[in-house]
Structure 1
Amino acid sequence: MHYDLTDLRVFLAVAEEAHLSRGAARCHLAPSSASLRLKGLEEAVGTPLLTRHARGVTPTRAGVVMLEHVRRCIAQLEQMHADLLPFASGLTGHITCFANNNALSAHLPEDLARFFAAYPAVRITLQERLSQDIVAAVAAGRADVGVVAMEGDHPDLEFLPYRDDELVLLAPQNSPLAAQQAVSFSACLHQPFISLQQGAALHTYLVNQATALGGRLDVRVQVSGYRAIARLVASGAGVGIVPRSAIDHADQQQVAMIKLTEDWAMRHLCVCIRRQALESNHFLAELVRTLCGSVADPGK
């Protein structure tokens, strides 16, 4: 297909402005030049992308699909330039870190703040993943370091202690569950759940645990964070399972926090690195020392 990045930018601008002239002006082009580029783009993809009318333009059904892809492509390119810019400004290090949801939401922010205070020129690509996927990524070299809720046994990796945490059940204070000191996960499956959004590591983990018990997670509401789970539970909308460390004091006063009896509810977070990786990467070694503050010589 014969089109270039400028064609995509023109299409994006015209579609978002819903007008050829305004879209062309946004791209610093004459309307006639923008029109030629759009015509060439439509010929290249083999279908009309915009419907022209007296008051402007609207995307066709194919144009709507194209628009979403173009937005993602442009955003990824912009992110690529943003990631590369520090190298031109004297960046001295870049680290890719994968972490599970628990570590990302409750522990890493403060630890990374301390690391950046000491090493402001270093950049970190931080992504959420399931623990087993993190281990595979670190072993394969797709990530420099991982934070996982498991103590693994891998011939190529080391697991260093990071934090201890616990998954707990949140229930409305007037719920029958609120009177219990501890409850099993299986006993909760008849309850409507407030959960993180689909794709979040904890959501996937709990769905898998329910499936392993021969049941399913009855998800009533999906939200983007633990605070939202706590507030919805407090309103009586359902129950939720969250890391104890992720719930602040104010929210703890509004819900009942109940211990889960399953062994997997205890979360022993570890920092996962390839063996000898710290010897060749000074900034990675410093990051690991920041995360594992009680470990005198990580990697030895």
Structure 2
Amino acid sequence: MRFDLTDLRLFVHIAESGSITAGARLAHLALPSASARIRGMEEALAVPLLRRGRRGAEPTEAGRALLHHARAIARQVDGMQADLAEFASGLKGRIRLLCNTSAMTEFLPDALAAFLAAHPQLGIDLEERLSRDIVQAVTDGEADIGIVSDAVDASALQTFAFRDDALALVMARSHPLAKQNRNRRSINYADALAHDFIGLAGDSAFQRYAAEQASRLGLRMHCKIRLRSFEAVCRMAASGVGLALMPETAARRNAAADKLLVLKVSDDWAKRKLLVCVRDLAALPRHARELVSALRQATP
């Protein structure tokens, strides 16, 4: 069995893109050469690695096993290159970091700014996803580090405390729900879902999470308008257009005291904590371990 790194990277590209043609392009190989490499791998193993069809190619059971190891090997090679970066002029290390919306908007900007200022030779690929998808990505080796809500099962990973992330509802003080609850500090999510909401635009992980929680209650969140930031959402809420669900930190920061009422959501799922998660801290490249350390030290 003789696989080289090009074979393994090619297979990862094909599996992730769902296409031999796209995988060959990403691996900078001609299509006949890529096809020959995959065929050679299958012949060496005596099992099919890809299931080919009209819609592309997807890994077989054997292919998924190979994909797991190929990603691990690629990650180790990347880690080796990063650890040797200080000895190779111009070589920069990169860290793949996945996080949920709260971490992206509320907590990471300051922490990452300080880390990057202290490590000018490094770069960070930052992407927002749902917490459950982040756990899967870190488990599969698609990301070095994840930041997730403790509401998801991350027991297969190593986790470290990062931040408290309670959720709150924001509304104009003139809103009917605010008038009914002006002397309270918290509210049930179900009680709010009869009213119009203001949500986040685009494919927001936070917005999908909020809609899922409504669905679990057998209810539906109706968004009258979607905006790009929590700051813009708060400004719209102040006009009385609707309610907004968001991290309490964002609500307190953006809420004008004389116009907006902030009520904590009393449901258990809204009393969240954020966790830093990795598959194996000791196996991470040095610069990724240093980022985990910086995030843990930044925990108040």
TM-score for the superposition, normalised by structure 1: 0.65
CA distance in 1, matches of 2:216, 2:294: 37
CA distance in 1, matches of 2:154, 2:175: 43
Which letter does structure 2 place at the counterpart of 1:228? A
The Cα shift of 1:218 comes to: 0.8
Give the conservation status (yes or no) of the 8 Å contact 2:134–2:148. Answer: yes
Give ranges in structure 2 of 5+ residues lacking alignment: 1-20, 26-84
In structure 2, the residue matched to 1:91 is 91
The Cα shift of 1:294 comes to: 6.4
CA distance in 2, matches of 1:144, 1:208: 27
1:234 aligns with 2:232: no
The Cα shift of 1:233 comes to: 0.4
Q: Secondary structure at the match of 1:220?
A: strand
In structure 1, the residue matched to 2:11 is none
Identity of aligned residues (%): 35
In structure 2, the residue matched to 1:47 is none
CA distance in 2, matches of 1:230, 1:98: 26
CA distance in 2, matches of 1:186, 1:92: 49
CA distance in 2, matches of 1:240, 1:263: 18
CA distance in 2, matches of 1:206, 1:172: 20
In structure 1, the residue matched to 2:127 is 127
Give the conservation status (yes or no) of the 8 Å contact 1:163–1:270. Answer: yes
Which letter does structure 2 place at the counterpart of 1:116? L
The Cα shift of 1:152 comes to: 5.6
CA distance in 1, matches of 2:99, 2:154: 18
The Cα shift of 1:153 comes to: 5.2
In structure 2, the residue matched to 1:199 is 203
In structure 2, the residue matched to 1:272 is 277
1:283 aligns with 2:283: no
CA distance in 1, matches of 2:154, 2:242: 39
CA distance in 2, matches of 1:291, 1:207: 29
Which letter does structure 1 place at the counterpart of 2:273? H
1:260 aligns with 2:262: no
The Cα shift of 1:210 comes to: 1.1
Stretches (4+) displaced over 6 A: none
In structure 1, the residue matched to 2:81 is none
Name which of 174, 179, 187 aligns with 2:191. Answer: 187
Give ranges in structure 1 of 5+ residues lacking alignment: 6-86, 296-300
The Cα shift of 1:181 comes to: 2.5
CA distance in 2, matches of 1:154, 1:182: 28
Name which of 199, 216, 219 aligns with 1:215. Answer: 219
Give the conservation status (yes or no) of the 8 Å contact 2:251–2:262. Answer: no
CA distance in 1, matches of 2:213, 2:152: 19
Q: Secondary structure at the match of 1:107?
A: helix
Which of the two has higher C-alpha Rg?
1
Q: Secondary structure at the match of 1:292?
A: helix
Which letter does structure 1 place at the counterpart of 2:211? V
How many matched pairs?
A: 210
In structure 2, the residue matched to 1:160 is 160
Give the direction of change, closer, same or farther, for the CA distance of 1:174–1:249 in structure 2 (3 Å limit). Answer: same
TM-score for the superposition, normalised by structure 2: 0.65
Give the direction of change, closer, same or farther, for the CA distance of 1:156–1:211 in structure 2 (3 Å limit). Answer: closer
Which letter does structure 2 place at the counterpart of 1:209? Q
CA distance in 2, matches of 1:133, 1:214: 23
In structure 1, the residue matched to 2:255 is 251
Q: Which shows bigger deviation, 199-208 or 88-97?
A: 88-97
Give the conservation status (yes or no) of the 8 Å contact 1:167–1:244. Answer: yes
Backbone CA RMSD of aligned residues: 2.3
